Amino acid sequence: MKTQRIGITWQLTDVHGWGIFGLNVALQLARHGPVPPLIISQPYFVGITPRINRLLGPYLKEQPGMLKRIEAQTGTAVVNEALMLHSLGNAFLHSPVSEKVRGHTNIGFIFFENGTIDDRALARARNYDKIIAGSSWNRDFIKNLGFESTSFISQGVDLERFQPREKVGHFPDRFVVFSGGKLELRKGQDIVLAAFKRFHERHPEALLLTNWHNVWPETFANLTRSPYIDSLPAADANGNISLQKWSEANGLPTGAHIDVGPIPNSKIPEIIAEADVALFPNRCEGGTNLVAMETMASGIPCILSANTGHLDIIGDDNCYRLERQTDVPADMEPSGVWKESDVEEIVETLEQVYQNREEAKKRANAGVAFMQNLSWERQTKALIEDLSVFL
C-alpha cells in the first residue's frame, strides 16, 4: 500500500457542516483505518469531547508542525505518502490550503449549489484524479457536463449520538417546530418564518425552535432577495446576531421563536428531542443536508423540500415531501437550479402532523430505519472502497 495517510485539507470543527463531515471522516479513519488521518488545517472546536481527544489526540498534536512545514516551502508542498482530500464548492473552487499542499493522489469532494459551471471550472476539476459528489444530483450534473471521473458518496450520521430519545420537557404544552442550518437564502429560513407565522395564527401554542446561527453576515446578506422578509438580522460589535429580534421584526409574536445560538454538534440531540416536527424547505442542497439526516435519525418527523440533494434521503413514507417545487426568480439564483417550496403546502403539512400524531410517528420511525444504513462508519467505508484503486 503506497498510501500511508489520508489527508483532510479543510478545517475540522464541531459547529458547521463541512467541519463536522471532516471530523467524522477523521474519527472513523482513526478507529478503523485502513490508514490514519492527516489533519492539515487548524481545527476549531466549541466543545471538544473525550472521544475526539482519545481518537484524534496524536493527529491533532502533529497538525501545527505539519502546517508549518507546508507553509515554509516555496510553492506547493507534495506529501508523497498521502492521498489528499480537498473540499470543493461552486465552480470547483477550492480553499487556499489546497493551493499549498497536494498528495500523491488528489481527490476533490464537492458540494455545489450553483449551476454555473464553465470551461474554466471544468479545467479546475481536471486538476483532481477524481471528484466525489455529496449528492446524486451533484454527481449527475457533473456527468452531464462531460466529466466522467465522478461518483456519489453520501454524508453519514453519528448514530450513537443521534437516535430517538425522550423529551426533557423544556417546552411543556408547546407544539415545537424545529428548523436547523446556518442562516442563508439557500436554506430557506425566510420560507420557514412565512409558513410558521401562518401556522402560529392557527395554533398560538406552537413554538419555532431553531439552530440558525451564522457568524458570517456576508453569507446571509442575500436574504434581501426574499419576498417574505423585510430586514436582515442586525449584528453587534462582536458579530453576534439576535435571531429572535429578527423574527419579531418580520411578524412573529414575542415568545413564538427561540434560537439556541452557537452550540457544538454534541449538544444538538437534546435540542432536536424537544421537537414535534422538523421543517426543511431548502431551496437547494448540494449534499444530503446533514442537519436533516441527524434530525430524521433522532426520530423526529421531517418535512423536506423534494429537490436537489434532499432527494437522496426522501424514501417511501420516511418523511413528508414538499412536492410543489417551482423555479426561483433569476435575480435570486440565475443558474436555474434552485427550487421554491410553496408556503401554503408547508402550512397544510404542518397541520397534517399536528392533527395526526400517529401517522407522524410512523413516518418518524421509518426515517430512523432509513438512517440506520447511513452511519458515518458505513459511509467512510464506502468512501475508502471508492478510493481503493488509488490506495
206 pLDDT above the threshold of 90? yes
Task: Report residue 346 as a C-alpha cell.
Answer: 408547508
Note whether 5-156+375-390 and 175-371 share their fold: yes
Residue that the C-alpha cell 435540542 belongs to: 271
Alpha-carbon span 45 to 20, nearest angstrom = 10
**Residue 302 pLDDT level (bands cut at 50, 70, 90):** very high
Compute the C-alpha angle 334/144/151, nearest 5°: 110
267 pLDDT above the threshold of 70? yes
Which CATH architecture best describes the domain 175-371?
3-Layer(aba) Sandwich (3.40)
CATH code for 5-156+375-390? 3.40.50
Predicted local distance difference test score (pLDDT) of residue 1: 55
Average pLDDT (243-255) is: 94
> Please, is 317 exposed, middle or buried when counting C-beta atoms within 10 Å of its C-beta (0-12, 13-18, 19+)?
middle
234 pLDDT above the threshold of 90? no
Neighbours of 313 (CB within 10 A): 25
Instruction: Report the range of poorest mean pLDDT among 50-59, 66-75, 331-340, 357-366.
Output: 66-75
Render 193-233 in DSSP notation, one character per residue. Answer: HHHHHHHHHH-TTEEEEEE---S-GGGTGGGGG-SS-S-PP
Average pLDDT (326-351) is: 97
236 pLDDT above the threshold of 90? no
* Residue 321, helix vs strand vs coil: strand
Instruction: Report the range of poorest mean pLDDT among 236-240, 269-273, 284-288, 356-360.
Output: 236-240
Predicted local distance difference test score (pLDDT) of residue 70: 84
214 pLDDT above the threshold of 90? no
CB 186 within 8 A of CB 309: no
Average pLDDT over the chain reads: 94
Residue type, 266: S
Predicted local distance difference test score (pLDDT) of residue 47: 81
Neighbours of 237 (CB within 10 A): 5
Compute the C-alpha angle 358/359/364, nearest 5°: 95
Alpha-carbon span 64 to 1, nearest angstrom = 26
Please report, for the chain, the start and end positions of each structural domain, with discontinuous segments joined by +.
Answer: 5-156+375-390, 175-371
Residue type, 229: I
**Residue 217 pLDDT level (bands cut at 50, 70, 90):** confident
Q: How confident is the model over 82-103, as pLDDT tens digits?
A: 999 999 999 999 999 999 999 9
Residue type, 235: A
Predicted local distance difference test score (pLDDT) of residue 15: 81
Predicted local distance difference test score (pLDDT) of residue 242: 86
Average pLDDT (109-128) is: 94
Predicted local distance difference test score (pLDDT) of residue 68: 87
Average pLDDT (202-220) is: 93
Buried b (16+ CB within 10 A) or exposed e, 90-120: bbbebbebbebbbbbbbbbbbbbbbbebeee
Torsional sign, CA 120, 124, 130, 136 = negative
Q: How confident is the model over 186-197, as pLDDT tens digits?
A: 999 999 999 999
Average pLDDT (230-247) is: 84
Q: Quick one: how far is CA 310 from the chain centroid?
A: 11
235 pLDDT above the threshold of 80? no
Predicted local distance difference test score (pLDDT) of residue 262: 85
Predicted local distance difference test score (pLDDT) of residue 269: 96
Using N-to-C axis directions, what is the helix angle for 357-371 and 343-355, rounded to 10°? 100
Torsional sign, CA 180, 117, 25, 158 = positive
Position with higher pLDDT, 146 vs 358: 358
